[in-house]
Amino acid sequence: MEFVEYLSSKAAQLYQTTAFPGMHVGNVAMIVIGLLFVYLAIAKHYEPLLLIPIGFGIVVGNIPVVEGMSLGVYDEGSVLRYLYFGVEKGVYPPLIFLGIGAMTDFSTMLSNPKLVLLGAAAQVGVFLTFLGALCLGFTPQEAGAVGIIGGADGPTAIFLSSKLAPSLLGAIAIAAYSYMALVPVIQPPIMYLLTSREERLIKMKRPRHVSRRERIIFPIAAFLICTLLAPGALVLIGMLFFGNLLKECTVTERLANTARTVFIDIVTILLGFCVGCSTSADHFLQPTSILIFVLGAVSFAVATGGGILFAKFMNLFLHEPINPLLGAAGVSAVPDSARVVHVIGLNEDPQNHLLMHAMAPNVAGVIGSAIAAGVLWSQLAM
Amino acid sequence: MEFVEYLSSKAAQLYQTTAFPGMHVGNVAMIVIGLLFVYLAIAKHYEPLLLIPIGFGIVVGNIPVVEGMSLGVYDEGSVLRYLYFGVEKGVYPPLIFLGIGAMTDFSTMLSNPKLVLLGAAAQVGVFLTFLGALCLGFTPQEAGAVGIIGGADGPTAIFLSSKLAPSLLGAIAIAAYSYMALVPVIQPPIMYLLTSREERLIKMKRPRHVSRRERIIFPIAAFLICTLLAPGALVLIGMLFFGNLLKECTVTERLANTARTVFIDIVTILLGFCVGCSTSADHFLQPTSILIFVLGAVSFAVATGGGILFAKFMNLFLHEPINPLLGAAGVSAVPDSARVVHVIGLNEDPQNHLLMHAMAPNVAGVIGSAIAAGVLWSQLAM
Amino acid sequence: MEFVEYLSSKAAQLYQTTAFPGMHVGNVAMIVIGLLFVYLAIAKHYEPLLLIPIGFGIVVGNIPVVEGMSLGVYDEGSVLRYLYFGVEKGVYPPLIFLGIGAMTDFSTMLSNPKLVLLGAAAQVGVFLTFLGALCLGFTPQEAGAVGIIGGADGPTAIFLSSKLAPSLLGAIAIAAYSYMALVPVIQPPIMYLLTSREERLIKMKRPRHVSRRERIIFPIAAFLICTLLAPGALVLIGMLFFGNLLKECTVTERLANTARTVFIDIVTILLGFCVGCSTSADHFLQPTSILIFVLGAVSFAVATGGGILFAKFMNLFLHEPINPLLGAAGVSAVPDSARVVHVIGLNEDPQNHLLMHAMAPNVAGVIGSAIAAGVLWSQLAM
Amino acid sequence: MISSFLHPLTLGISLNFSLEPLWHDTGIPLALMGMFIVFFALIFISMFISRLPHIMAVLDKYLPQAEQLLNPPKPREGEISDEVIAVIAAAVSEALGKPHRIIHTRELTSRDMAWPQQGRWQIQTSHIPQK
Amino acid sequence: MISSFLHPLTLGISLNFSLEPLWHDTGIPLALMGMFIVFFALIFISMFISRLPHIMAVLDKYLPQAEQLLNPPKPREGEISDEVIAVIAAAVSEALGKPHRIIHTRELTSRDMAWPQQGRWQIQTSHIPQK
Amino acid sequence: MISSFLHPLTLGISLNFSLEPLWHDTGIPLALMGMFIVFFALIFISMFISRLPHIMAVLDKYLPQAEQLLNPPKPREGEISDEVIAVIAAAVSEALGKPHRIIHTRELTSRDMAWPQQGRWQIQTSHIPQK
Ligand code: NA
Ligand code: NA
Ligand code: NA
């Protein structure tokens, strides 16, 4: 009898060492969300390079841990905390921009200067969402970080959140990447709504040849223009064009190659996994998270609409009209939104290949949202 | 005459700036040990990817330095200290597990579920050694870190030592890697002792085909099972199965490739070198180090025996008996112990190819010792 | 009217958020210098792997930023500061030495032991410049850091500066890399001045075959000799020969390959960029910077001359004379100075191929200046 | 000088062997608990694995297309793709003197597939966006 | 136990909607300023790009040789170089049984071009040092 | 505004030249000591290198098999291995229309040789475990 009591007390003690006592329904919900991310990445090919690390990270971050152990991203001295440092201090995003710069070909943009403006127009999503978030009671700093979701640029969103609203970083990052993954679902209805069939059939001229020398000069000149006007974008824009210069200058091919392969891979693994780990239910399942998701969806929709409508506005003045579908590519989400434009163009006319043209507003959108982040940061930094 | 005096005083002063005044016989002994590691790695191919960095690190760590200079891993502000940070805080081992996960093929294990238990049985080496270390006067924390040597997993041993007994980290790491390198020397006598020729001749059935989908589901399910039962293993197990998911999910091939090539290479270089550097004679040549080496050898032997005997125990109940040599592969030491099983199987019957089967307990042993480390850490963390 | 006033006040406010109010002529000058570096790298192929990152970094580091934002390498908590940490603490240079070791073939040196001394003779540039800097009012610590420019080794110069004179690091690094890039301009006049045509025509014997085993033993033995005599060189010399052992020992080819490709690439990108960023005009445009550049030029010239004259001195005693041009390769600047020797040799006699021979003093010069740095650090560390 | 040289080797080893710590909570009870959890976890995994074929049968009924998606007929890394074969053929004919220029080709290893290029690949295979 | 399990889901969402923050400096004025700077910067870039061909024409006049230097006839990464073609041809003839040994060849991808090898390459193409 | 723009260029260079610091311990004595140690170390290395062939002769007597072990006849990285040649031959015959499928091949560069694969390779070449 005593032995049974002893055993049951031991069993109870054993149970306490497992993760079950600390498991709340919120953790279960988050684990399911994490698995959903993994499923979408594998089965639907939605941004797998990001959704797999984030999704598995969400699962890891929601295993409840024994009290007093230093395990999670918020525990002083834990391994995950050291890895999370690069997220928290905004170090990973510029390194990702370095790699993006080293893999981006700006030549379509160089042969289509007008299309650059579509990347500016799409930033209306950022600032309208910012205003909306203000109205909903977010502080200006938080509202800035929420608004940048509309920039459709994961690294930019993480960078600005780490500077302005660290407590919302997890929700903002997850929202940004979720909607970036859902670009092929969100954008098409808006694109069909705002364009007529005639507009969707507009064909663009073949881009002109861009010389090597132009491609070398561009990153330097664009860097100077952007950062002189918005010095707050220095780190993101600097790394982006530094990477691009490494790629284009022909004499640092090995550095560019490393930046766009293993270096960005390593940072992507760590960034995605740590962002996922930071979404433990007690930090993430807050009313604000839901608001952030709602505002993020609005932001994406407004940005898409803004780009399309601005293209139609430009057509009022242009001899050679722009296909307004290209405006949707002004939200960055490289290269997904460009791909969506291409597919919808092909739907209407199997000979209308818009991909190369769509890359121009697409990369302009990256620059545009980095500038927007720089302005928000410089005006709202405390 | 005065000039001769001046010169000899200068020569003496010069001598003081060299490493010779600080050179003790202990340093010389350690340097010889380091060179022995390098020799074994090159001439005998014993775990060269680890013994070369560790061996050369031992040599570097035992060059005595001028007083007041910040050079070694224990000196505040030195370069080696910053690199050693990843060892001291246990950051490198999970990153190595990420790479191991991205290169491990669990499919043999998936087609041989029974063999998983051999990886559990081998952990008896961990816990018996833990008890032995307790009896010899180690604190429970130190005893836990010493016991994990029997897990035959370098990164796990370093991780647990960094958490429970930082002062023993060097000795434990060196012991773990030494014995892992010596697996082909330690295990065979025990294997011959505990098995009969008939047992060694047992042939295993060809493993069944494992579908891609099973290989995707496995890392997620196994992660949940392990960490719900032993949340202390979260970081190691999490990284292991995260890496494996990257490998198996088919859509993140580039991330998996980076994780299992350059990323693990960089971490291996830094980890091995820094562990070696941490063995300066005055830290390493302690009575406890000798005890740790003795206990480590016992631990390996017990783990090997435990696996083999458990296989024979299972055979009492199974229709299709297991070749008990496979039990020896339950100590992880991937892939050395699996190789030893294979070679000894071939010795008895040149048609008996056990390698694929031995990989199942081998990788199960990795999981098993990570769980053991998690339990020890969660119960002994202060 | 009021509206115009409002608009102009807003425009003024907007102007304050740009980089223009903080832009001084010094920043403009530095940006021009940065662009010049980029131009020289691309158009003249001067050390592009370093001048492109440094040059673009200089441009980035001289964009004036809004007060109160944490952006530059000197601002607490900024991204660039975290990346600069590896420069400031001297962590990057040893990692670069690891990669250099893993790509350096010491076999020409092993077959030409006499030529090693030329690498020692060239260090006279280091110590004479050190004395010159002392006379010009630098503290002994600063003078040591300035003198090491004559070592013609970027990582060594950065490492020693970070230890002895952090405030001069930017200027010293820029000077070192500038002159390393200008080796093909600086060295030839000195070489023609100090050698006769007959001397330049001296042909060297074909080097003997060096066995694999010799190449394995060499890094270990050379490491012990160097660090026993100059323990201050432990980290640089240790990493150099560790990398070389990884390369030569045949069993760690994958580690050596990672060390000499992506690992050194990543560190080079970060090191170069951060060194560039640290040259903001207010830190860099000091009278001392000009002095440092003058002393650096002297240092290079003296080192070149020292190597050549010592070769001529050795010829007084040797049966088989050395081509004194090889002395110029004793300043390391791998492989530029060896190349210059080769080209000048070919100029005189199209059959006189000196490249392989010049690599011997070239790599000896790397070792020599690392030892010099070790001595200076150990004697001047406070 | 010699004594200082020998200094760290004066190791006085005094073994204190005691069974007493075994009876503490951090002794045998912890060891048993550890073995128990290790076995428990690996038995669970083993059971899960033996169930996997059944779970797969269920999944295949509800999500039949996925397995096919996961095993596309594209060449695995290390295999030689049709594209590479075409290139080699072209190279060979070039080497044999036929004047036919290779404009541009790429090795399709995963390392090379930078993200934009993955994008380019996916556009042809990926889901059709919803209207 | 169930209430503790459900604990974090008791989300009381209370929406406070107010237009007041819009009129602060960090409201609409900031949003306008942001859009203004974004447009301004990208318009500048757009204008710069449209001017690029003219800038190039000027540069080509003063630095005519550079463009040529930047576009050497060496094969771009991914293309098959003559060297590789030669190797393949040799490999093929070897495979067809002719006993002709390939001594040493290298794939000239940038990844392989370690610094010393770049040095080796540059020595043949680089500037002649000034006397 | 212009003065503030020019601000950092107001560099007042005042050269203070003095020979006095040379006579301190951190002056000429340190420089001499530095040159001395540099020369000493490199002379030692030079002497060691000249002795190397003799050391090798001794080593070869006592450890004769090692050198052979270190120079296996396997192809060096960059050279074309027999395996690759076989693959190319197969690819060519495939390109020429013969319906013969390449099942699986691997480039044996060191980068590809992940640890498990190294294991697979070593098992055939490695030491026989001691009984
Ligand atoms: Na954007
Ligand atoms: Na194990
Ligand atoms: Na040097």
Task: Give the distance from residue A173's alpha carbon to the nearest chain E alpha carbon, in angstroms.
Answer: 21
What's the CA-to-centroid distance between B153 and ligand 2, angstroms?
5
Least confident range from C41-55, E12-26, E100-114: namely E100-114
| Record: contact C120-F43, CB cut-off 8 A | yes
CB-proximal residues (5 Å) to ion ligand 3? C 151-153, 332, 365, 369
Residue A44 lies in a domain: no
> Domain range spanning residue E58?
19-63
pLDDT digits 0-9 by tens, F115-131: 443 333 333 333 333 33
Q: Using CB atoms, which chains have 3+ pairs under 8 A with B?
A: A, C, D, F
Domain count along chain F? 2
pLDDT number for residue D6: 52
What is the DSSP-derived secondary structure letter of residue A262? I
Interface probe with A: pick from C36, C50, C54, C63, most Cβ of A within 10 Å: C63
Inter-chain Cβ pairs, chain A and chain C, closer than 8 A: 116
What's the CA-to-centroid distance between C333 and ligand 3, angstroms?
7
Residue A162 lies in a domain: yes
* Contact present, B256 and B102 (Cβ < 8 Å): yes
Burial (0-12, 13-18, 19+ Cβ within 10 Å), E3 = exposed
* Contact present, B236 and B357 (Cβ < 8 Å): no
Checking if the pLDDT of C168 tops 70, the result is yes
Percent of chain A scored above 70 by pLDDT?
99
In the predicted model, what is the mean pLDDT of chain F?
57
Kindly state the average pLDDT of the residues C239-243.
94
In the predicted model, what is the mean pLDDT of chain B?
87
* Contact present, A17 and A267 (Cβ < 8 Å): no
Q: Which of D69, D111, D129 is facing A184, going by the closest CB pair? A: D129
* Contact present, C90 and C79 (Cβ < 8 Å): no
Residue C220 lies in a domain: yes
pLDDT digits 0-9 by tens, C180-228: 888 888 888 888 888 888 888 788 887 778 888 888 999 999 999 999 9
pLDDT number for residue D112: 34
**What is the CB-side half-sphere exposure of residue C145 using CA atoms within 13 A?**
27
Name the residue among E78, F106, A154, C266 with its Cα closest to residue B258: C266
User: What is the Cα–Cα distance from F35 to C310, expressed in whole angstroms?
Assistant: 13
pLDDT number for residue C297: 87
Ramachandran class of E99: left when φ > 0, alpha when ψ lies in -120 to 50, beta otherwise: beta
Q: Give the Cβ contact number of residue C286 at 10 Å.
A: 18
User: What is the Cα–Cα distance from D112 to D131, expressed in whole angstroms?
Assistant: 33
pLDDT number for residue A32: 94
Least confident range from A236-240, B154-158, C249-253, C281-285: namely C281-285
Residue E99 lies in a domain: yes
Residue E28 lies in a domain: yes
Least confident range from A128-137, C295-304, D19-28: namely D19-28
Interface of E with C (CB under 8 A): 29, 33, 36-37, 63, 66, 69-70, 111, 114-116, 119-120, 122-123, 125-131
Kindly state the average pLDDT of the residues C17-29.
86
pLDDT number for residue F5: 55
pLDDT number for residue D77: 38
pLDDT digits 0-9 by tens, A5-26: 887 887 887 888 888 888 888 8
pLDDT greater at residue A242 or residue A203: A242
User: What is the Cα–Cα distance from B23 to B15, expressed in whole angstroms?
Assistant: 12
User: What is the Cα–Cα distance from D56 to B213, expressed in whole angstroms?
Assistant: 8
> Among D6, D33, D63, where does a domain finish?
D63
Name the residue among C211, C228, C271 with its Cα closest to residue C91: C271
pLDDT digits 0-9 by tens, B41-89: 898 888 889 899 999 999 999 998 777 777 888 888 889 999 999 998 9
pLDDT digits 0-9 by tens, C79-128: 999 999 999 899 999 999 999 999 888 888 888 888 889 888 888 889 99
User: What is the Cα–Cα distance from E33 to C142, expressed in whole angstroms?
Assistant: 47
Q: Which of D91, D105, D112 is facing E85, going by the closest CB pair? A: D91
pLDDT band with cut points at 50, 70 and 90 for residue A339: confident
pLDDT number for residue C98: 94
Kindly state the average pLDDT of the residues A188-216.
84
Checking if the pLDDT of E17 tops 80, the result is no
Kindly state the average pLDDT of the residues F79-100.
41
Burial (0-12, 13-18, 19+ Cβ within 10 Å), D86 = middle
Least confident range from A335-349, B26-40, C36-50, D101-115: namely D101-115
In the predicted model, what is the mean pLDDT of chain A?
88
Checking if the pLDDT of F106 tops 60, the result is no
Name the residue among F127, F129, F107, F130 with its Cα closest to residue F117: F107
pLDDT digits 0-9 by tens, A94-153: 999 999 999 888 888 888 888 889 888 888 889 999 998 888 888 899 999 999 988 888
pLDDT number for residue F1: 44
Checking if the pLDDT of C232 tops 90, the result is no
Checking if the pLDDT of D42 tops 50, the result is yes
Q: Which of A19, A56, A64 is facing B245, going by the closest CB pair? A: A56
pLDDT number for residue B92: 94
Ligand nearest to the CA of A333: 1
Percent of chain F scored above 90 by pLDDT?
5
pLDDT digits 0-9 by tens, C56-75: 999 999 998 777 777 888 88
Checking if the pLDDT of C358 tops 50, the result is yes
Kindly state the average pLDDT of the residues B234-252.
92
Residue with tokens 């966006």: D129
Residue E89 lies in a domain: yes
Task: Give the distance from residue E83's alpha carbon to the nearest chain A alpha carbon, in angstroms.
Answer: 19
pLDDT number for residue D13: 56
Residue with tokens 């870039």: E45
F44: which residues sit within 8 A by CB, 6+ positions away? C225, C229
Checking if the pLDDT of F103 tops 60, the result is no
Report helix, strand or coil for E2: helix
Residues of chain A positioned with their CB less than 8 A from the CB of B220: 35, 38, 56, 59
Name the residue among F121, C209, E26 with its Cα closest to residue B339: F121
pLDDT band with cut points at 50, 70 and 90 for residue A1: low
Report helix, strand or coil for A318: coil
pLDDT number for residue D83: 42
Checking if the pLDDT of A173 tops 50, the result is yes
pLDDT number for residue A199: 82
Q: Using CB atoms, which chains have 3+ pairs under 8 A with A?
A: B, C, D, E
Checking if the pLDDT of D74 tops 70, the result is no
Checking if the pLDDT of E108 tops 50, the result is no
Residue type, A287: P
What's the CA-to-centroid distance between A335 and ligand 1, angstroms?
11
Note the pTM of the prediction, 2 decimals.
0.87
pLDDT band with cut points at 50, 70 and 90 for residue C154: confident
pLDDT greater at residue E81 or residue B224: B224
pLDDT number for residue A82: 94
Q: Which of F87, F92, F106 is facing D89, going by the closest CB pair? A: F92
pLDDT number for residue F12: 54
Residue E7 lies in a domain: no
What radius of gyration do chain D's Cα atoms show?
32
pLDDT band with cut points at 50, 70 and 90 for residue D12: low
pLDDT band with cut points at 50, 70 and 90 for residue E79: very low
Kindly state the average pLDDT of the residues E9-32.
72
pLDDT number for residue A378: 86
Residue A164 lies in a domain: yes
Same domain, E59 and E76: no
Percent of chain B scored above 70 by pLDDT?
99
Checking if the pLDDT of B256 tops 90, the result is yes
* Contact present, B338 and B362 (Cβ < 8 Å): yes
pLDDT digits 0-9 by tens, B343-364: 888 888 888 888 888 888 888 9
pLDDT digits 0-9 by tens, C76-85: 888 999 999 9
pLDDT digits 0-9 by tens, B93-102: 999 999 999 9
Checking if the pLDDT of C357 tops 70, the result is yes
Checking if the pLDDT of E103 tops 70, the result is no
pLDDT number for residue A325: 87
Checking if the pLDDT of D118 tops 70, the result is no
Domain count along chain A? 1
> Domain range spanning residue A221?
86-380
Residue B19 lies in a domain: no
C255: which residues sit within 8 A by CB, 6+ positions away? B49, B52, B53, B265, B268, B269, C246
* Contact present, A47 and D118 (Cβ < 8 Å): no
pLDDT band with cut points at 50, 70 and 90 for residue E66: low
* Contact present, A202 and A323 (Cβ < 8 Å): yes
Tokens of B197: 């020729």
Kindly state the average pLDDT of the residues A344-360.
83
Checking if the pLDDT of F85 tops 70, the result is no
Measuring CA to CA, how many Å separate D38 from each of B122, B158, E61?
10, 19, 76
Checking if the pLDDT of A294 tops 50, the result is yes
User: What is the Cα–Cα distance from C361 to C118, expressed in whole angstroms?
Assistant: 6
Residue E27 lies in a domain: yes
Least confident range from B258-267, B332-341, D38-47, F7-16: namely F7-16
pLDDT greater at residue E64 or residue B164: B164
